[in-house]
Structure 1
């Protein structure tokens, strides 16, 4: 199965913690694996719960000057686990209703696979009719989206178009 996961590649200081929330595809490439945590939307949470070992994720840079798909990641956990941030009262993602016995938020672990040959920008996707039904186009703010195998193949093919310039953040 295929997914699209969004992350912010540019620095943004969390007002509650003072920590930088930046996490780019290059940051992912520097760690073994990363819990895909901090998601606080119920539909996106359900998508995280549906992820399975070896599912492939299109890695999307959002909330930046030129958003777009920049690389691939892989789900490396058998199933999602409780998002630890929901239990930390100092975290922006703290949830006072969550308990260890009854967590409300979940996260799988993901690892870096590769950079795409070039970024596929959101502007480019909007110009291409075959991506009208891509969940990213319909539910733009959703941070975790399922992607059909057909769309996935088309996106990989598009990323190999050598006539386009690579401007991966």
Structure 2
């Protein structure tokens, strides 16, 4: 299994929004960064684990987990002129942007804030620490395990 961290602004789409979706499944769409798109299109696969990260909020933090239930497919929003994610350069035969479907798995007992993550030596090489703005990023098995533990434990 491969692990990922997906970032979302909780005012836009939160872990709780995902949990409230039918069957706890939702489309992860609107990605408009080429590096993140390439991860979605080429690397993220059905069955992969996802750390759900709330960004651009008072306390950015990893708040829970999800699972990829459908691998990459063209993001329908790129073809919709009414969508804020419309891309006039995209076409049905040459899509530019991709999305995946994910299912809610768990909410952490406590969020693991970015400030705490940055202070943990074992997480110093995490993409979140080194390249924080990337909305889709790989997570190592050790990082996944440690963040799962931290999310279920008493704050440090």
1:75 correspondence with 2:80: no
Corresponding position: 1:47 with 2:48: no
Q: Secondary structure at the match of 1:76?
A: strand
User: How big is the shift at 1:93?
Assistant: 1.1
Matched, 1:136 2:110: no
SS in 2 for 1:111: strand
* Count of matched residue pairs: 152
Aligned to 2:143: 151
2:112 pairs with one of 120, 132, 141: 120
Secondary structure, counterpart of 2:62 in structure 1 = strand
2:17 is equivalent to residue 27 of structure 1: yes
CA–CA distance in structure 2, aligned partners of residues 57 and 160 of structure 1: 16
In the TM superposition, residue 160 of structure 1 has moved relative to its aligned partner by 2.1
Residue 82 (structure 2) aligns with: 90
Could you tell me which of 33, 45, 64 is aligned with 2:57? 64
Query: Could you tell me how far 1:63 is from its partner in structure 2?
Result: 0.6
Q: Report SS of the residue matched to 1:119.
A: strand
Deviation at 1:34, TM superposition (A): 1.0
d(CA) in 1 for partners of 2:54 and 2:138?
16
Flag structure 1 segments of 5+ consecutive residues without an equivalent: 11-21
Partner of 1:6: 7
TM-score, normalised to structure 2, is 0.94
Name 1:16's counterpart in structure 2: none
CA distance in 2, matches of 1:51, 1:145: 10
Higher relative strand content: 2
Give 1:97-112 correspondences, 5 Å limit: 97-112=89-104
Structure 1 segments, 4+ long, off by >6 Å, are: none
User: Could you list the runs of 5+ residues in structure 2 that have no partner in the other structure?
Assistant: none
Secondary structure of the residue that 1:153 maps to in structure 2?
A: helix
* In structure 1, distance between residues paired with 2:131 and 2:151: 22
- The TM-score normalised by the length of structure 1 is 0.87
Distance 1:37 1:73 in 2: 15
